[in-house]
A and B are shown apart, each in its own frame.
Chain A
Amino acid sequence: MIISRQKDKRELLHHLDGKHKLFLVGCGACATACKAGGEDELFQMQEWLALHQREVTGSLVIEEACHIMRAARDLRQHRVAVEEADALLVLTCGAGVQSISSNTEKRVIGALDSLFLGNVRRLGQYEEKCSLCGDCILNETAGICPVTTCAKGLLNGPCGGMEEGRCEADRERDCAWLLIYQRLTRQGRRGVFARVVPNKDWSRRHQPGKHRV
């Protein structure tokens, strides 16, 4: 899922300048799990807005805000409250914000920062495992992604900064290449060490990305 967190309140206030009436939108999926844009956070946001003399005309939590058509449908059902507002304050990831902005001509203010595609360790603890490079190498790296979990995204083994298997960029973390090497060794294969991995084909990361099944 997409990991997000709320923007700094001072930054948010700056964006709210001149906007007195707001319609709030949250997301029932990722932003709810991240405690950044679910029912509870919408409610807290409403209280905070009241403290800053803002009026809330209505609010809505879309089941999955990244679903463009569903966002359109849900917004239509709140047409009056949306019309009444000076702007929509959207507590979803950037994808959700764009579902909304593609469905209204009103000013849309994003209240969250999107961080990464995250795996869930447990609720509240998220880890970035894949950065969607479009050219997946996991089959050769024993299922551990160096593009994402090596601080330099190297493809052919550890850099000269590895010390005692710890990462140069953060000595608290294991070097991604240590983990890859250990698991490959346990599996009795050489994987990514059996060949020189060629330059990554970044053109496979379609830009701007669209995909039809």
Chain B
Amino acid sequence: MSQLSEKLAAGEFVVTAEIAPPKGVSLEQELSLAQTLAPLVTAINVTDNQGANLRMAPLAAAALLRQRGIEPILQMTCRDRNRMALQSDLLAAAALGIENLLLLSGDHPRFGDHPQARPVFDLDSVQLLQAARTLMAGEDLSGRPLQSSPVFFAGAAVAPEAEPFELMMQKVHKKAASGARFFQTQAGFREAPLLRFMEEAKPLGVPVILGVLLLKNARMARYLNDHIPGVRVPEEIIARLESAADPLALGIELARDLVALARRHCQGVHLMTLGCEDRIPRILC
């Protein structure tokens, strides 16, 4: 059983962080970052060609984390693989002892470093959740029996601030119905939309892990707004970062407030600290 699933089931507040596999062949840096993070978190997400930029397959990094006794959450997107490749990777993940999954549609290749690539999207994120569930039940998507079946703890991403809200919630309901056992949210910065989301999501009974992104300065906040789909840093926060004497200190303070908010309303936080992992203890205290 994954620690993540056990802790969530026990109602414990969980902390997750993330690493991105390298654009290259050496994982040394990423693994040492993971070692630093490990004592602070329950599990570590390993991103899948994030932002549609080519990197090493997350399966390798997740397996190595596992070998070192660190619990991974393997992210998997529908952008680059058809249903056969996805199922095949899911079986491989299970063989390598990877249980936690975060199943996503994936960013459109238009943003990344291979904009000429043919996007696949043979399945969508809802259908990928169902694929994982089908494999767990001992069958593939064609209904043929597996010789042995995997055990997964599959989660999905949600964007609580997305508008229109009711439209976004339709998909959240489908994800819950398709076997999502936890939700990790897109980075959020405002209380009101989160509370509205939590209110609507409560009847689903799926634990919610709030995405908390450490803002280092106003420039970074602007970059996120312009380039990262679904992330919206409010203008008011950008203005505060702009006039702050020590923007990073303000960013840490904002992140700490969000963690406190999550402790009141959610079941965990997912920290995105982008190179400032040494600040995590201050964000969590």
Interface residues of A (CB under 8 A from B): 151-165, 168-169, 177-178, 181, 193, 196-200, 202
Closest partner residue, chain A, to B231 (CB atom)? A163
- Give, as a whole number of angstroms, the nearest-CB distance from A67 to chain B: 31
B108 and A196 form a contact (CB under 8 A)? no
> Total contacts A to B, CB within 8 angstroms?
93
The 8 Å CB contact of A160, one of B166, B170, B230, is B230
A161 and B108 form a contact (CB under 8 A)? yes
- Give, as a whole number of angstroms, the nearest-CB distance from B197 to chain A: 13
- Please count how many residues in chain B sit with their CB below 8 Å of the partner chain's CB atoms: 37
- Give, as a whole number of angstroms, the nearest-CB distance from B228 to chain A: 9
The 8 Å CB contact of A156, one of B83, B110, B171, is B171
Q: Does B222 contact A (CB under 8 A)?
A: no
Q: Does B249 contact A (CB under 8 A)?
A: no
Q: How far is the CA of A199 from the CA of B123 in the complex (A)?
A: 6
Per DSSP, chain B at the interface is loop
A157 and B121 form a contact (CB under 8 A)? no
Segment among B64-72, B91-99, B124-132, B236-244 that sits at the interface with chain A: B124-132
B121 and A153 form a contact (CB under 8 A)? yes
Q: Does B85 contact A (CB under 8 A)?
A: no
Q: How far is the CA of A154 from the CA of B119 in the complex (A)?
A: 12
Contact partners of B157 in chain A: CB under 8 A: 160
A152 and B126 form a contact (CB under 8 A)? no
Contact mask B163-184 → A, CB, 8 Å, 1/0?
Answer: 1101110110010011000000
Q: Of residues A155, A159, A164, A199, which shows the largest number of chain B Cβ atoms within 10 Å of its Cβ?
A: A159
Contact mask B97-108 → A, CB, 8 Å, 1/0?
Answer: 000000011111
Q: How far is the CA of A81 from the CA of B201 in the complex (A)?
A: 73
- Give, as a whole number of angstroms, the nearest-CB distance from A115 to chain B: 16
A168 and B171 form a contact (CB under 8 A)? no
Known: A154-B121, A157-B174. A181 touches B167 (CB 8 A): yes
Q: How far is the CA of A127 from the CA of B82 in the complex (A)?
A: 27
A163 and B121 form a contact (CB under 8 A)? no
- Give, as a whole number of angstroms, the nearest-CB distance from B108 to chain A: 4
Q: How far is the CA of A22 from the CA of B31 in the complex (A)?
A: 64
Contact partners of A169 in chain B: CB under 8 A: 108, 110
Q: How far is the CA of A196 from the CA of B174 in the complex (A)?
A: 6
Closest 9 interchain pairs by CB? A161-B229, A157-B171, A156-B126, A168-B229, A169-B108, A154-B124, A160-B159, A159-B105, A181-B167
Q: Does B141 contact A (CB under 8 A)?
A: yes
Q: How far is the CA of A202 from the CA of B84 in the complex (A)?
A: 13
Contact partners of B232 in chain A: CB under 8 A: 163
Q: How far is the CA of A103 from the CA of B246 in the complex (A)?
A: 75
Q: Does B217 contact A (CB under 8 A)?
A: no
The 8 Å CB contact of B162, one of A155, A163, A193, is A163
Q: Does B186 contact A (CB under 8 A)?
A: yes
Q: How far is the CA of A181 from the CA of B168 in the complex (A)?
A: 10
A-B contact pairs, 5 of them (CB 8 A): A152-B119, A152-B124, A157-B126, A199-B122, A199-B123
Contact partners of B83 in chain A: CB under 8 A: 199
- Give, as a whole number of angstroms, the nearest-CB distance from B166 to chain A: 8
